[in-house]
Amino acid sequence: MDNERQLLEDADRRALAYFDGIPGRRVFPAPEAIAALAAFDSPLPETGRDPAEVLRQLDELGSPATTASNGGRYFGFVIGATLPAAAAAERLALAWDQCASSFDNSPAADRIEKVAARWVLESLGLPAQSAVGFGTSATACTLACLSAARRALLARKGWDFDSDGLMGAPEVRVVVSASVHITVKKALRILGFGTRRLLVAPTDAHGRIDPARLPPLDDMTLLCLQAGEVNTGEFDLFAELIPRARAANAWVHVDGAFGLWVRASSQAHLATGIEQADSWTCDGHKWLNTPYDGAMAICRDADALATAMNSDAAYASASRDAQKNLTLEFSRRARGVPIWAALASLGRDGLAAMIDRHLDQAGYLAERLREAGYQVLNRVVLNQVLVRADSDEETVAIRNAAQASGEVWFGPTLWQGRPAFRLSVSSWRTSDADIQQLADLLVRLKASGGR
Ligand SMILES: *Cc1c(COP(=O)(O)O)cnc(C)c1O
């Protein structure tokens, strides 16, 4: 017991030292730190090692080879850092070690996640009766929502999907945007909707579905829209598209992994009409700045999600709204707890202020980069700045130089078939000084052609 306590104290000490070092560390680790990871590459030990020694190795070799995504100068993949309240809640929940499946497994987790669910709906302005499953990712939550959608569409035709499966079932047509996120395609693929059979809705110059070219919809159509295109940050035209889908009795799912949070900001109008959809996915671990493995499957028809995801057994029955009946997982961490803590510590105004600050910072970045001679390829309506230099070679050289500098990190992308880079502003830690540093570096690199 004493040893366990010492070990946990050592872990806390090391975690705090890591944490203190973030501002001074390279954003992407140095090649030597990455090379040193080879020391992990040993056979499974025949006999166990001292836990203190295990932790020491993890910290001494692992910590230096991490990316500083929990810092303020990481601009990749629209992922945030972790808010203090969320990190602290996660720490406590780890000590609780709850199997957060149902009330019987964990009264605390059950009640707190129910409040988190309500607050998520209130923050996002989505229908209050919706079910909210806290799953591992937008990918997993999309899978959950789309299975509910398919089951419900088939039930309307009198088809019992649970008993009869897919063989001989009426066809469900799936319409996706030409710029659909790869994970939505992945979820569809896993569900058995072959990629060749998807009906692709052409997009406009901003990456939004062009309403004039939307394929026909009917009562067996599953229409997948998106809130926050990964390159441009743009939104499908929900107010126009969703009423058309509703009139046709189609099911509308919205992938809002990061973009849904705009609903909590002063720019909520960007997603007007989104509340009329049938289901939505949203991540906590991106723009809400909660730890990884925290996402939401939200379904207007609570029963549709609860029946599709039901996993009641004779030895494990639970209420319809127990988390194990709303997510893919049977045993699960209380992943709604850090989400609750984030929302409790921010409040409505803090959440709005964080999102609004990122929008302002993205706008400022775009302005500085345009002045320096970069092409900013998107309208920067959200927190994404899509950038290109004069030639593909220069774009790639500047991106590589910025990544190698260790000062900042952002990722590559392709836009209309040519290289670009994407700056995502989504960390609560990103200060105006961090933005200044990123802009200064990119301006300098443009002047020197990436050298
Ligand atoms: C990140 C992202 C996803 C996938 O989210 P995960 O939580 O990583 O599975 C889906 N759609 C969009 C638009 C995203 O940005």
- For 132-167, how does the pLDDT look when each residue is reduced to its tens digit (9 = 90+)? 999 999 999 999 999 999 999 999 999 999 999 999
> What pLDDT sits at residue 9?
96
What are the CA-CA distances from residue 3 to residues 9, 10, 51, 75, 403 (Å)?
A: 10, 10, 9, 40, 41
Instruction: Give the pLDDT band of residue 318 (cuts 50, 70, 90).
Output: confident
> What pLDDT sits at residue 312?
85
Q: Greater confidence, 143 or 316?
A: 143
Check pocket membership of 69 for ligand 1, CB cut-off 6 A.
no
Beta-carbon contacts of 58 under 8 Å, excluding residues fewer than 6 positions away, are none
Check pocket membership of 253 for ligand 1, CB cut-off 6 A.
no
Check pocket membership of 183 for ligand 1, CB cut-off 6 A.
yes
**Positive or negative CA dihedral for 433, 435, 437, 439?**
negative
Check pocket membership of 136 for ligand 1, CB cut-off 6 A.
no
The pLDDT tens digits for 280-313 are 999 999 999 999 999 999 999 999 999 999 998 7
Evaluate if residue 395 carries a pLDDT over 80: yes
**Positive or negative CA dihedral for 82, 270, 281, 207?**
negative
Q: Closest Cα to atom 2, ligand 1: which residue? A: 257
What are the CA-CA distances from residue 16 to residues 13, 19, 342, 344 (Å)?
A: 5, 5, 20, 23
> What pLDDT sits at residue 118?
98
Evaluate if residue 2 carries a pLDDT over 80: no
Instruction: Give the pLDDT band of residue 224 (cuts 50, 70, 90).
Output: very high
The H-assigned helical ranges of 238-391 are: 238-247, 302-308, 336-371
Instruction: Give the pLDDT band of residue 315 (cuts 50, 70, 90).
Output: confident
> What pLDDT sits at residue 316?
73
* Percent of the residues in the chain that have a pLDDT greater than 70, as a whole number: 100
Evaluate if residue 238 carries a pLDDT over 70: yes
- Specify which residues 132 forms β-bridges with: 298
> What pLDDT sits at residue 348?
98
The pLDDT tens digits for 261-284 are 999 999 999 999 999 999 999 999
Check pocket membership of 283 for ligand 1, CB cut-off 6 A.
yes
Which one of 186, 255, 287 would you pick to mutate in the ligand 1 pocket, going by the greatest count of ligand atoms within 8 A of its CB?
A: 255
> What pLDDT sits at residue 287?
98
Evaluate if residue 1 carries a pLDDT over 70: no
The pLDDT tens digits for 29-79 are 999 999 999 999 999 999 999 999 999 999 999 999 999 999 999 999 999
Bridge-based pairing state of the strands 251-255 and 279-283: parallel
Check pocket membership of 384 for ligand 1, CB cut-off 6 A.
no
DSSP state of 62: I
Check pocket membership of 134 for ligand 1, CB cut-off 6 A.
no
> What pLDDT sits at residue 449?
79
Which helix (DSSP H) or strand (DSSP E) does residue 15 occupy?
helix 2-21
> What pLDDT sits at residue 207?
96
Q: What is the CA radius of gyration of the chain?
A: 23
Q: Does the pTM of the predicted model rise above 0.85?
A: yes
Average pLDDT on 323-336 reads 96
Separation between Cα atoms, residue 45 and residue 153, nearest integer Å: 52
> Buried b / exposed e across 133-146, counting CB within 10 Å, b at 16+?
bbbbbbbbbbbbbb
61: number of Cβ within 10 Å:
15
Instruction: Give the pLDDT band of residue 83 (cuts 50, 70, 90).
Output: very high
